[in-house]
Structure 1
Amino acid sequence: MKGIPSLQSLRGVSELKYVNADNVIRYRAIMRFIYQEYQRLNYWLKPEEIYEGIMKWELFDQYLFEQLQVDLEQLVEWKNLTSRHDGGKSATVEEYLRKKFQYLLTPYSIEIERMLEELENVRGYGGSLEPTLFDTIANKLFEIRSNSINFEPGEALDLWNELFESFKRLHQTSVDYIASLHTSKAEELMVTDAFLVYKESLTDYLQNFVQTLQRRAYKIEGNLNRISENIRDLFFDAVIEDELRKPRLEDVPTREELIEVYLRGWGNLKSWFIENGDSPSELSRLERSTKDAIVRIVRCALRIQERKRSGISKRKDLNYLGNWFYKTNELNDAHRLAALTFGLFQTRHLQGEEIRETDRADISMWLEKPMLRPLRSRSRKKNDRQDIESIPDNTERRKTSMKQILEYHRGELYLLQDMVRRGSVTISELGYISSNIRLSLMQWISRCTSSNSSKFRTPEGIEVTLYRPGFGDIAVLNCEDGELEMPNYKLTFTIGNEGFAESAAAQQME
């Protein structure tokens, strides 16, 4: 998510020394108390206040006030605290002679303590899959595209903050959640029987996210492609004006620094949703990882079920059933027992001439003579002798298939010739078409949308270019197999070289 780090950003962080110092408990107790007071809007603290607050925690048996002063000076040296002279009145001579200070947390220390406080509550990777964030990002991008100039004071900055915070939240929570499915604890759970309870809800959760991702991603990609550099720069000008309008008492960033930060954030946002050259987008990687997680969960559930089925022994039941059959004295009793135990056997249809000795309809099947049919073994072991079978002649089948393929290509060629004569066509102008024409149109649109230039060249040398419609421009494609509601795309067909005429002539000769 970040760009190339600078040398300044890779410097040693002296503010982190107190986390692993020798007297780490004392340092961290001081910093935690000052941080808690900072959250209560109590910023500058006296050493006496810090000492009194720490001693109430009863963490130390012997901790002198002089030791606290030494620790405070050390934290000032590490740039964790900022000190200033306390100009209040002195109650005693010792206070007057001793130089008194007040202490305040530095910005680095505030973030460090905030991070340490969050780390105490970390339980695994956490994260979640929030499909609604796709709608939020798409709506914010649409607002930027449709209202890039007329922003009220503060509106552009709020819009950018909501957009980028939703984007960061989508990235962080989804990455953390997918990572939680690959932990050792998750792998241990996936091989236990208890995992079958979570399997359905987990797969539904992942499938719902993937389906929402596939439905909403095209809206985000379309809005990003329609936001030109001019619109983007006008929007960021309004954002920077809102940022510079804030009154600041500390260092104020320059316009150039803000432009660099916002452009880097926009580049991260765009590269996350739209692929750049040969490198896939982060969105496609997230989709692939989520689908792989679904496949992995289903496979684990199947293995558990197979293990449960294979682990059940029926030896005692079969021994008991065998003794039961052994003790029956009448054949009819054995037939009834088999019918109650096994039910109807799977029906098998065997071809052949049925030889019957009588045409009586009331004769029992048990009185019929058996008809012998040789059956091939299903064993994987090779027999010593195998019957030799002749190779089937598929000449006629190949001729039929070749004829069907040639007819399909000839129809596609005629369709291309018709489109070249028209020059361009929109979906709303097509009228009633056949299913073959619809399939060809869908293939052309799919190949154009998957290309960065929104065009491709057919083997006949025809260059097909796709023009996307405006927002809300929807058309209904009437086909012989139903109606399809889709964007009102426009396709243009131009001859790129002489290959089209040669290919057309060759196919007509065939």
Structure 2
Amino acid sequence: MDEQSAYRTLRSVPEMKYVNADNVVRYRAIMRFFYQEYKRLRYWMKPEEVYEGVSGLAELAEYTLEQCVSDLEQLEDWGNLASRHDGGRAATLDEYMKKKMQYLMRPYSIEIERLLESLEKVTGYGGSLESNLFDSIADKLFEIRKMDWETEPGAASELWTTLYEAFKKLHENAADYIASLQTAKAEEMMVAESFLVFKDRLTSYLQNFIQALQRSAYKIEGNLERINASVQRQFLERVAAEELDKPRLEEAPPRETLMTELQQGWANLRRWFLGDGITPSELTLLERATKDAIARIVRSVIRMQERKRSGVSRKKELEYLGQWFSQLDELDDAHRLAGLVFGLFRTRHLQGEDLRQSDRADQSMWDEAPTIRTLRSRSRKRGAKSDTEPVPENAERKRREREAYLQRQAEEWEAIRGLVERRRLQISELSTVTLQMRLRLLYWIGRCTSAPRHTFVTPEGVRIEMLNPRTKQRTILRSEDGELNLPDYELTFALTEAVREAAVTAEGRAIE
């Protein structure tokens, strides 16, 4: 950004002072009158014409011509109006010498009034989902690819203007429309009964937009990817040249500035449809937001329908269904009927300890031991007041749990002790083992395989090491509940130094 552009961008805006000045009603009335006359192609206005145009307002009932002239001069000082001497109708020298002026609205003021007029019409986010804009963008990108640079002079500027205006309109209108669906007013509307009449049109509108987006997105992305850097640069240079060739009364922007703006616009277009490689594209986010809006509408309608059904008695239907069930002789037929009538029940995740007695994949869940878990009622109704219950005594349960734990530890140590004396174990050398031994072996193999050095220490102080973790030889481990094909691992067992020292100390004390 050069120094002049920085000054234009960051300077103060005295032209906006009349919007918040002390006599804001008078200034706003004058500027709005100038703007209305500007749209009627009347540009230079005399003070008498201005006064006549604004004095009819109820807020300016006591307004005078002298005040109007003073206000016009103030607006000229702020840069809102330009003036020139009006001496065309002077009949005498005195009339000519009197300072009669005509006033013209400046470009900044025109844009300010245009903005204010637009803001007065804003009642919400507005916006729309115009699916035909996707087709327009795709067609213009295809024309850029196939453009004949020699026989179509002047077409590049028009093509770029149409393309970028369609892109801006698509982005701004879609963003505004999706934002309007997130407002509190939309939430209130979605819970009202009247929304049931409107929801079909709204859902169809969103679905049609999604279908057009998905249908045209591939064409747009394909055309953008096929327009390489050379074609893009050639096209934008042609646009800049045609813009600079247009006859202007004002000073034309520098070519470098214009090229920078065009390249930034093309980058915005490309990023919106293709993304930047790190974050998803705006097109993807728009599609996701539209689908989320459809899902919210469907959920709201379902909740309203369920709320309406909740007050309807279904006694007769349930009685008829109960009679239907009572006439069935087979349990499987009742299961099938329940599946057709009620469908799948909602899944509930319950926490509990896995007490499976076998790892067989073909074992049915109905053959496993159940996990008993007490569920607390979710009803908001208070039940009958119950007497205070004493704190339960769990000493007996704790004793049983402790004895069972010590028994498991003794069995674990007994199995490990024999292996420590043996010092080495190879899977292929084993005969048929018990279920507990098979589970224990698989646990040890898993711990060794996941350890960095393929070794670990058990709670009893035994170091187990796998000597051949990458072996390709395989063997069959036979167990009480089946056979398992696995690598022929070799394990070694040894007591740690701490356990050995503790054993020696305990043996010495026993001798003493």
Task: Indicate whether the TM-score tops 0.5.
Answer: yes
Determine the C-alpha separation between the residues in 1 that align with 2:37 and 2:246.
26
What is the 5 A alignment of 1:46-85? 46-57=46-57, 59-85=59-85
What is residue 411 of structure 1 aligned with on the other side?
Answer: none
Aligned CA distance change for structure 1 residues 6 and 269 (closer, same or farther; 3 Å): farther
Q: Which runs of 5+ in 1 are unaligned?
A: 319-337, 354-377, 383-387, 399-509
What is residue 200 of structure 1 aligned with on the other side?
Answer: 200
What is residue 40 of structure 1 aligned with on the other side?
Answer: 40
Determine the C-alpha separation between the residues in 2 that align with 1:177 and 1:94.
62
CA deviation after TM superposition for structure 1 residue 240, in Å: 2.0
What is residue 173 of structure 1 aligned with on the other side?
Answer: 173
Aligned CA distance change for structure 1 residues 347 and 247 (closer, same or farther; 3 Å): same
Match status 1:394 vs 2:354: no
CA deviation after TM superposition for structure 1 residue 110, in Å: 0.5
CA deviation after TM superposition for structure 1 residue 30, in Å: 0.5
- Counterpart of 2:60 in 1: which secondary structure? coil
Determine the C-alpha separation between the residues in 2 that align with 1:178 and 1:340.
43
Read off the aligned partner of 2:290 and give its amino acid letter.
Answer: T
- Counterpart of 2:219 in 1: which secondary structure? helix
CA deviation after TM superposition for structure 1 residue 148, in Å: 5.5
Structure number with bigger Rg = 2
Aligned CA distance change for structure 1 residues 151 and 57 (closer, same or farther; 3 Å): farther
Determine the C-alpha separation between the residues in 1 that align with 2:136 and 2:6.
33
What is residue 342 of structure 1 aligned with on the other side?
Answer: 320
Read off the aligned partner of 1:118 and give its amino acid letter.
Answer: S
Determine the C-alpha separation between the residues in 1 that align with 2:134 and 2:32.
38
Match status 1:237 vs 2:237: yes
Determine the C-alpha separation between the residues in 1 that align with 2:331 and 2:293.
51
What is residue 264 of structure 1 aligned with on the other side?
Answer: 264
Q: CA deviation digits over 1:415-448, x for unaligned, max 9? A: xxxxxxxxxxxxxxxxxxxxxxxxxxxxxxxxxx
What is residue 224 of structure 2 aligned with on the other side?
Answer: 224
CA deviation after TM superposition for structure 1 residue 152, in Å: 2.2
What is residue 133 of structure 1 aligned with on the other side?
Answer: 133
Does the 8 A contact of 1:45 with 1:103 survive in 2? yes
Determine the C-alpha separation between the residues in 2 that align with 1:346 and 1:262.
73
Q: CA deviation digits over 1:371-429, x for unaligned, max 9? A: xxxxxxx9x9x9xxxxx99656533589xxxxxxxxxxxxxxxxxxxxxxxxxxxxxxx
What is residue 17 of structure 2 aligned with on the other side?
Answer: 17
What is residue 429 of structure 1 aligned with on the other side?
Answer: none
Aligned CA distance change for structure 1 residues 303 and 46 (closer, same or farther; 3 Å): same
Aligned CA distance change for structure 1 residues 151 and 215 (closer, same or farther; 3 Å): same
Determine the C-alpha separation between the residues in 2 that align with 1:128 and 1:301.
22
What is the 5 A alignment of 1:73-472? 73-91=73-91, 95-147=95-147, 149-150=149-150, 152-310=152-310, 312=311, 314=313, 342=320, 345-347=323-325, 351=330, 393-396=359-362
Determine the C-alpha separation between the residues in 2 that align with 1:392 and 1:93.
119
CA deviation after TM superposition for structure 1 residue 130, in Å: 0.9
Aligned CA distance change for structure 1 residues 151 and 120 (closer, same or farther; 3 Å): farther
Does the 8 A contact of 2:181 with 2:293 survive in 1? yes
- Counterpart of 1:395 in 2: which secondary structure? coil
CA deviation after TM superposition for structure 1 residue 277, in Å: 2.1
Does the 8 A contact of 1:127 with 1:176 survive in 2? yes
Determine the C-alpha separation between the residues in 2 that align with 1:237 and 1:163.
16
RMSD between superposed Cα atoms in Å? 3.3
Structure showing greater relative contact order (alpha-carbon pairs closer than 8 Å, 6 or more residues apart):
1
Read off the aligned partner of 1:237 and give its amino acid letter.
Answer: E
CA deviation after TM superposition for structure 1 residue 341, in Å: 7.1
Determine the C-alpha separation between the residues in 1 that align with 2:25 and 2:356.
86
CA deviation after TM superposition for structure 1 residue 94, in Å: 5.4
Determine the C-alpha separation between the residues in 2 that align with 1:127 and 1:229.
34
Normalising by structure 2, report the TM-score: 0.62
Does the 8 A contact of 2:55 with 2:61 survive in 1? no
Does the 8 A contact of 1:34 with 1:105 survive in 2? yes
Q: CA deviation digits over 1:35-63, x for unaligned, max 9? A: 11111111111112111222244542211
Determine the C-alpha separation between the residues in 2 that align with 1:198 and 1:146.
44
Q: CA deviation digits over 1:150-187, x for unaligned, max 9? A: 35232111111110110011001101110111111111
CA deviation after TM superposition for structure 1 residue 250, in Å: 1.0
Read off the aligned partner of 1:184 and give its amino acid letter.
Answer: A
Read off the aligned partner of 2:162 and give its amino acid letter.
Answer: E
Read off the aligned partner of 1:173 and give its amino acid letter.
Answer: N
Read off the aligned partner of 2:360 and give its amino acid letter.
Answer: N
Read off the aligned partner of 2:101 and give its amino acid letter.
Answer: F
Determine the C-alpha separation between the residues in 1 that align with 2:157 and 2:194.
49
Aligned CA distance change for structure 1 residues 148 and 344 (closer, same or farther; 3 Å): farther
Aligned CA distance change for structure 1 residues 346 and 70 (closer, same or farther; 3 Å): farther
Q: CA deviation digits over 1:134-155, x for unaligned, max 9? A: 1110110010011152352321
Aligned CA distance change for structure 1 residues 36 and 339 (closer, same or farther; 3 Å): closer
Read off the aligned partner of 2:320 and give its amino acid letter.
Answer: F
Read off the aligned partner of 1:144 and give its amino acid letter.
Answer: I
Read off the aligned partner of 1:175 and give its amino acid letter.
Answer: A
Q: CA deviation digits over 1:46-96, x for unaligned, max 9? A: 112111222244542211111111111111111111122224242356533
What is residue 408 of structure 1 aligned with on the other side?
Answer: none
CA deviation after TM superposition for structure 1 residue 347, in Å: 3.8
Does the 8 A contact of 1:29 with 1:54 survive in 2? yes
Aligned CA distance change for structure 1 residues 96 and 205 (closer, same or farther; 3 Å): same
- Counterpart of 2:21 in 1: which secondary structure? coil
Read off the aligned partner of 1:309 and give its amino acid letter.
Answer: R
Determine the C-alpha separation between the residues in 1 that align with 2:360 and 2:92.
113
Determine the C-alpha separation between the residues in 2 that align with 1:351 and 1:205.
49
Aligned CA distance change for structure 1 residues 300 and 283 (closer, same or farther; 3 Å): same
Does the 8 A contact of 1:149 with 1:234 survive in 2? no
Q: Percent identity?
A: 55
Does the 8 A contact of 1:199 with 1:297 survive in 2? yes
CA deviation after TM superposition for structure 1 residue 120, in Å: 2.2
Does the 8 A contact of 2:87 with 2:96 survive in 1? no
Determine the C-alpha separation between the residues in 2 that align with 1:182 and 1:94.
67
Aligned CA distance change for structure 1 residues 143 and 313 (closer, same or farther; 3 Å): closer
What is residue 453 of structure 1 aligned with on the other side?
Answer: none
What is residue 424 of structure 1 aligned with on the other side?
Answer: none
CA deviation after TM superposition for structure 1 residue 17, in Å: 1.4
Q: State which drifts further: 165-174 or 38-47.
A: 38-47
Does the 8 A contact of 1:148 with 1:235 survive in 2? no
